[in-house]
Amino acid sequence: MHKRFRLLLCSPLLALAAMPLAADEPVDVVLIGGGIMSATLGTYLQELEPEWNIHLYERLDQVAEESSNAWNNAGSGHSAFCEMNYTPEQEDGSVDIQRAINVTEQFEVSRQFWSHQVDNDILGEPTSFISTVPHASLVWGDDDVAFLRERHATMVQNSLYADMEYSEDRDVIAEWMPLVMAGREDNDTPVAATRMQMGTEVNYGAQTRQMIEALARSDQFTLGLSSEVRGLERNDDDTWKVTVADLANGGETSVDARFVFIGAGGAALPLLQESGIPEAKAYAGFPVGGQFLYTTNQDVVAQHAMKVYGKAGEGSPPMSVPHLDLRYLDGKPALFFGPFATFSSKFLKEGSWTDLFGSMTFNNTWPMAEVGLDNFNLVRYLVGQVLMSEGDRFEALQEYYPEANQDDWELWTAGQRVQIIKNDEERGGVLQFGTEIVSAEDGSIAALLGASPGASTAPSIMLNLLDRVFPEQIASAEWQDKLTDIVPSYGQPLAENPELLSEVRAYTAQTLQLDEPANLAATSNSDAGQASGESDAQAEPSEEEQSETPSTEMQEDAITEV
């Protein structure tokens, strides 16, 4: 069913797609990969430089079919409200929340970016891609309860998390998550939970399709579906010759480009290697897949209107964080539980079994071996996950849903992710769980490597990329003004500006039609203030106040984005 639904959504793109012909002059931008990253970057560039010629190539016959597809990622608006791996406990018992602050601010940028696109008819009806779904953290046992208590006490001191609720009362927690607490009445193990009611569920596939459809309205944009990039070669004038195979009709063509962005998910690493830039030599990749149990039984789904995240087991890597999530897929609510790790040598769900071996080079093979030797917990976790039986997975679900009926649940294999392995001069091979922008020294080509964060923080990641590869343009007054229009908080850390935070949250809650009473109340108060004679400058952020700080620390849990 979901396959038919996606075909329907993509039909306008199928009509617009064509195999681009070679151009007499280099095109300004080539985007490789039809996912959320290319869609986001293309959307930025079309507003910043509407006369630039942009080509986008996607090897499949539709966009948003790999990691951006709603069935292939967790769909959480990852904002660090519930992901406890962002707030590590220190030796003295304190909790470090700086990483959480970085992620939360990035997601606030995403909300502003999406709101701007709604205002400008780039994105459609907000309910088609975003919904309010509370985010909760849940723990058991004395030690973890003490950790969550300290985490909450630390986080609520920051305005980003002022509305976070905390409880150790079973009755209160049962009101928040009845499905999770039912069947635990005779269990006297200490339990604690936090809740942020302004959490979100996001369909990144729908966003991707809508943004690319909007890009295609311009005569300056060309979309090539069933178009596989097979060659990247530097020309004498420092442009790039991009060789593209027509998978639908056969044959190859090429186009020269002044700038190339490789946003092809797991396939980004082989393409980056194909470019031959020296910066690519330091990287290798390790593919990890994910599976989820899901149910569409509406009697069950109706009992769990939130996303509940637990803690990774002792000795397990961050990617193993279990979560039970309300999702909206194909217009219907569903519950997903996982992740369960899988292994395949493919770098994409629709990739080749030879992907991993083809990416191994003289420079990266030993760092890969070092990572295997240094990360025994990860190796043990992956082996254990691969060996899990159907009964083992159901038992894991019952830890979060004790009264689950196995007949209600099906297993779904989600997308492939490729973890970064970087050859550090001092430490040797290092496994990184975040994302990283790799670019040539002259900024003419860039790639996004890594598994996560992806969709949730795509607008911030692409701001970082713009800063790196277009330094002269981004320093100009014209780009600065336009970026401030797109992201009203551009250039200022929201964690240090509660008033601006309140204003942008009110704006995005209203524009995205999110059910956030506190933020919508702020909008109403602002409107009332203007009606009573306040100036626009008092009610809305001034041009000097509107800014955002793109963070380079983008460390989300790897499979929670699967």
- pTM for the complete prediction? 0.88
Contact 99, 161 (CB under 8 A): no
In this predicted structure, what is the pLDDT of residue 551? 37
φ and ψ at residue 184, rounded to 5 degrees: -110, 10
Q: Which tokens sit at 158?
A: 């920051």
Handedness of CA 499, 504, 509, 515 (dihedral sign): negative
Contact 50, 221 (CB under 8 A): no
Q: Which tokens sit at 105?
A: 């601010």
DSSP for 237-288, please give it: TS-EEEEEEETTT--EEEEEEEEEEE--GGGHHHHHHHHT-GGGGGEEEEEE
DSSP for 168-203, please give it: --HHHHHHH-HHHHTT-TT----EEEEEETT-EEE-
- Dist. CA 430–CA 421, nearest whole Å: 5
In this predicted structure, what is the pLDDT of residue 471? 96
What contacts 475, CB < 8 A, 6 or more positions away? none
pLDDT along the chain (562 residues), means of 10: 41 57 80 96 98 97 89 84 93 95 96 98 96 97 97 98 97 97 89 97 95 97 96 96 96 97 89 92 83 96 96 66 91 91 79 79 76 72 82 95 97 84 75 83 93 82 97 97 98 95 97 92 57 36 36 35 33
N-to-C CA span, the chain? 21
In this predicted structure, what is the pLDDT of residue 57? 98
- Dist. CA 155–CA 87, nearest whole Å: 9
In this predicted structure, what is the pLDDT of residue 524? 61
- Dist. CA 84–CA 229, nearest whole Å: 39
Instruction: Select from 431, 46, 460 the least CA-distant residue to 212.
Output: 46
- Dist. CA 363–CA 374, nearest whole Å: 18
DSSP label at 434? S
